[in-house]
Amino acid sequence: MSTNQNPIDSIANLIESKSAVKQKTYRTLCKNFKDLENEAKNVIKQISEKIVEKDKDIELSVTKISNQEFQVRIAGDLLVFLLHTNIITLDDTHGFSKSPYVQEEPLRKYLGQINIYNFMADSLKFNRLNDPGYLVARVFCNYENHFLVEGERQLNFMFENVSPKPLTKTDLNIIVQLVISQSIESDLITSPFPSIRVISLNEKMERTQALGGGHKIGFQMSYQQGIE
């Protein structure tokens, strides 16, 4: 703010610029989240039609929990899609923040985000509160609806840079397919025998992983490396 500028004028200018952009970003995010849910339904429908021998116990479904959450069940996996209600920025050292796209117009740095977590379906079914969920991907979009994705493997490779064009339903469909594929391909690995040789009564009562549950192999490598 200039030393000669009236504080009221400065506040008004901030509301017109930053606050207005954040509101537009959030509205764009909400639309994308609805479209993402619809594309998830389309993908699940297509997968279901391709399965020849259907086991009645293998569930494929999309369930809306609220305007900020829906879940995709794929057999033993449960993908939880969460809309974050706050508009954020990425660290100044992030490639997006340093990109010519943002440098040209700093208001483009404000992002809405959708987080996608992978849980074991039985964790929710049996209310195993200590079972972990793993962040599979984060989808970001700004007020111009340009986007980028942070994730594992193909997700990170295909969408790590800000998109040259606005986000489309085709993009969302591809993201859903990749998230589902990655979750299915990451198998469970049980805890080492010595670590579960002794359990407490509390662990037994709460049905924790000490009873033989597992960790996702792929996500353990990325998110738990170095954690004892």
> Do 212 and 193 form a contact (C-beta atoms < 8 A)?
no
Residue 106 in this model has a pLDDT that exceeds 70: yes
Q: Which single residue is written with the structure tokens 């969920």? A: 133
Among 14-28, 58-72, 183-197, which is the least confidently predicted range?
Answer: 183-197
Strand-pairing partners, residue 190, are: 214
For the chain, what is the radius of gyration of the CA atoms? 21
User: What does the alpha-carbon distance between residue 159 and residue 100 come to, in Å, rounded to a whole number?
Assistant: 17
Is 50 exceeded by the pLDDT of residue 51? yes
Mean pLDDT of 74-87: 92
**DSSP assignment letter at 192:** P
pLDDT at position 225 over 50: no
Q: Is the pLDDT confidence value at 52 over 80?
A: no
What's the confidence (pLDDT) of residue 219?
44
Question: Contact, 182 vs 152, CB < 8 A?
Answer: yes
Contact (CB, 8 A) for 32 and 145 = yes
Average pLDDT over residues 186-208: 59
- pLDDT tens across 137-180, in order? 999 999 999 999 998 777 777 887 899 999 999 999 999 999 99
Query: What's residue 176's pLDDT?
Result: 96
Give the CA dihedral 152, 33, 39, 56, nearest 10 degrees. Answer: 80
Average pLDDT over residues 12-19: 82
What Å distances lie between residue 191 and 54, 125, 163, 195, 211, CA to CA?
A: 31, 21, 40, 7, 9
CB atoms within 10 A of CB 11: 12
User: Between these two residues, 126 and 91, which has the higher pLDDT value?
Assistant: 91
The winner for highest mean pLDDT among 87-101, 143-157, 209-223 is 87-101
Structure confidence at residue 194 as a pLDDT band (50, 70, 90): low
